[in-house]
Chain A
C-alpha cells in the first residue's frame, strides 16, 4: 500500500492527513469555545446570512473549477477528507446523542466547552463548514462539464449541500413563539422558550372554542401504601365499556353499565347529561375474595369528586382516558384587519401570511374543561430552500436505488 511508503504530509495526501486535519479543526473549535467561555457561535440574520452563504457557495464552486488540478484542492474535495469530516461530525453528534442537550450549568466544563449545546458550538460549526467545502468542491467537478450521467451524484450532493447549509444558516431567522389564549379572548403576544418577556406579533389570535376528545376512561387499582398502580393480570389498559372485565390478584371487576356523560342526581345515582357538563360513570360488580358488591365509579371533574371503592387497603377507581384529539377554533386577524378563520389541531397546522399556526397544548390539569389553548406560531423563511434540498436528496436517492439494482443485475 502506498500509504505505508509515503511519509506524513508527503504528497499525495490521503487518510492520515485528512483525519489529523479534521481532528485539528474540531480541537481548534473547542479551544475557541473555551477561550470565549462557551458562548457558542453568533449567526448573522437575514439578509446578511443569505449574502454570506451565497458568497461562500460561489467561492467554493469557483475555487473547485479554477484549481481543479491543484493537488491540495483535489485533496480538499476528495473522499478521504470527506470521510474524516463525516467521522468528525459523527463524534460530535455522538456527544450530542449522549449528553443531555440544552441545560447549561454555569461554570461547568461541559458548559465552557459547550458540549451540552454541541450543535451550536464552534467545533460543530468548524466541522460543518469544512464538510460543506469538501462537498461543494466535489460537486463543482461533477457540475462542469455537465453530463447526464452525473445527475444522481449532483441531486444527492447538491441537495445535501443546500439542506445542510440553509438549515444551519437559516436557524437564526427561525421564530417560534407560544401564544396562550383563553376561550372568548384574543391575544397578540407570544413568548419564546428562553424568556418571560412577551413579544408583540403582527397579528392577533381570537379563540372561539377549545374542544378535547378523550379515549374511554380506564379502570385502575391503586395502592396508597406504595403509591403505585397495581398491574392488571392481562397487562392490558382497561378501557371501560359495558361488559368489560378486569382482574387483579384476588379481585374481579365487571362493568355492568357505562355512561360517558352523566351527572349524579340528588340520590347520588348518576343520570345521562350533556356532553359539556357530564362526566363518565360506570356501574361495576366487584368480587373480592368471597365478598361481592356493586358500586358506581366516576372519573370526577373540577366540580365533582371522583367515585372510588376501597378494597382491603387498595383503591379501585376510574381515570379519564388519554387525549384522542384536541382542537381550537380561532380567528386570526392581521395588522391590516384581514381575518382568517381556522381550526387548529395536532398534525394540522394552518398557514397565514408566512406564519404557521400549531395547536400546541392546553391546561392539562383542567383536561376536557380547559379554558386555555396554547397556540405555537412559527416563521421560517428558509424552509423552501431546505425542502428543495430534501426533495433533491430523495430524487437522487431513487436514482441511486435504481442504478444500484441495475449495476448488480449487470454484474
Chain B
C-alpha cells in the first residue's frame, strides 16, 4: 500500500491534538483560531484519504470488519463536531469528537486488522453499502449526542445554564434515531434476500433493536416534556447500549451463532 495505517493514524491523531491545543490557546489569542480549524480538518482529511486508498487496495468497501468500521467512525465523528460548530456556533463538541476519534484509531493501532480482500457471498449485495453506511452515520450522530449530553451533565453539576447544548444533544439524537430506523429496516429487507427471513433475533439484531428502543423511549420522554436536565443523563448513558451494540456483542455468550461476526475466520 502507498501509505500504511500506522503512519496515517498517528498523523491524524497528531493533527487533531494540534487542533485541540490551538483551539484552547485561541480562547486568549483569537488569531490562532484559524490554525485550530486547519489542523482539525486536516486530521479528518488524512483519514478520509486513507479510507479511499484502502478501499481501492482491497477492491471492496472497507466496511466488513469492526476495525474497518472504526476507520469510518474516526473520519466522521470529528466531522459532526465541525458541522455542529458551523451550524450552532458551539465549539466544544468538536474537541470531544476528536478525542473520541483518536481513541478509535488507538484501538486499531493496538489490534492491527488482518487485510483480507475476500468478501463472503452473503455480503455481496446492493444492500451492503446503504445498510452499513446509514448505521454508521446514525451511530456517529448518537455518539456525538451522548458526548454533548455528557458535557451538558457536567455543566449542570456546576449549575451553569446551557440551553443550546441541550438542544444540540436532542437534535443529534433525533437524527440518529431516524438513521437507526432506516438501518434496521434496510437490514431486515436485506436479511430476507440473503438469509430467508427479515428478523431472526440474531444477537446483533437484538442489540440494534435495544439501541433503537432506547432512543424511541427518549423521544417519547421528550415529547412528554420530562425535565430536559434528566434527559441529558439518559442520553449520556444510552452510550453504554451503543457501545455494547458496536463492539460488545461479539464477546457476549449469545454471540456464538451470530451472522454478524465477520471478524472471525472459519
A-to-B contact residues, CB < 8 Å: 79-80, 82-83, 86-87, 89-90, 93-94, 96-102, 119, 167, 174, 176, 215, 234-237, 239, 321-326, 345-349, 356, 358, 360, 376, 378, 380, 383, 386-387, 390, 393-394, 397, 400-401, 404, 408, 411
Contact = CB atoms under 8 A, between A and B. Distances in A.
B56 interface: no
Given A86-B216, A97-B252, A349 B121 contact: no
B27 interface: no
Contacts of A376: 196
A347 B210 contact: no
Interface string B52-63: 000000000000
A237 B117 contact: yes
Contact of B113 (A98, A176, A235): A235
Given A215-B117, A324-B118, A90 B210 contact: yes
Interface string B168-186: 0001001100100110010
Interface of B is mostly: helix
B174 A347 contact: no
Given A79-B220, A79-B224, A93 B206 contact: yes
Given A97-B203, A235-B115, A236-B115, A378 B121 contact: no
8 closest A-B pairs by CB = A346-B121, A97-B206, A237-B116, A236-B115, A347-B125, A79-B224, A401-B178, A215-B118
B237 interface: no
Contact of B121 (A98, A167, A236, A323): A323
Nearest to A394: B185
Contacts of A378: 196-197
B118 A322 contact: yes
B178 A397 contact: yes
A102 B254 CA distance: 10
Contacts of A346: 121-122, 124, 194
B193 interface: yes
A404 B192 CA distance: 31
Contacts of A167: 198-199
Contacts of A101: 201, 254
Given A87-B217, A100-B256, A358 B121 contact: no
A229 B73 CA distance: 31
B124 A325 contact: yes
Contact of A411 (B167, B192, B206): B167
B243 to A, nearest CB: 13
B114 interface: yes
B66 interface: no
Given A93-B206, A100-B254, A326-B121, A390 B188 contact: yes
B223 interface: yes
7 contacts: A83-B220, A83-B224, A237-B115, A239-B117, A348-B193, A383-B198, A394-B182
Contacts of B115: 234-237
Given A347-B193, A390-B188, A98 B254 contact: yes
Contacts of B189: 387, 390
Interface in B204-235: 206-207, 209-210, 213-214, 216-217, 220-221, 223-224
A191 B127 CA distance: 29
Interface in B99-134: 112-122, 124-125
Contacts of B112: 235
A323 B120 contact: yes
A102 B206 CA distance: 14
A100 B114 contact: no
Contacts of B206: 93, 96-97
B117 A100 contact: no
A83 B217 contact: yes
B253 interface: yes
A394 B210 contact: no
A404 B210 contact: no
Interface in B140-186: 167, 171, 174-175, 178, 181-182, 185
A237 B265 CA distance: 11
Nearest to B112: A235
Contacts of A345: 121
Contacts of A411: 167
A100 B258 CA distance: 10
A86 B119 CA distance: 37
A324 B217 CA distance: 42
Contacts of B201: 96, 101, 119
Nearest to B117: A239
A157 B105 CA distance: 40
Nearest to A167: B199
Nearest to A94: B210
A356 B196 contact: yes
A261 to B, nearest CB: 19
Contacts of A215: 117-118
B27 to A, nearest CB: 28
A390 B216 contact: no
Contacts of A322: 118, 120, 265
Contacts of A400: 174, 178
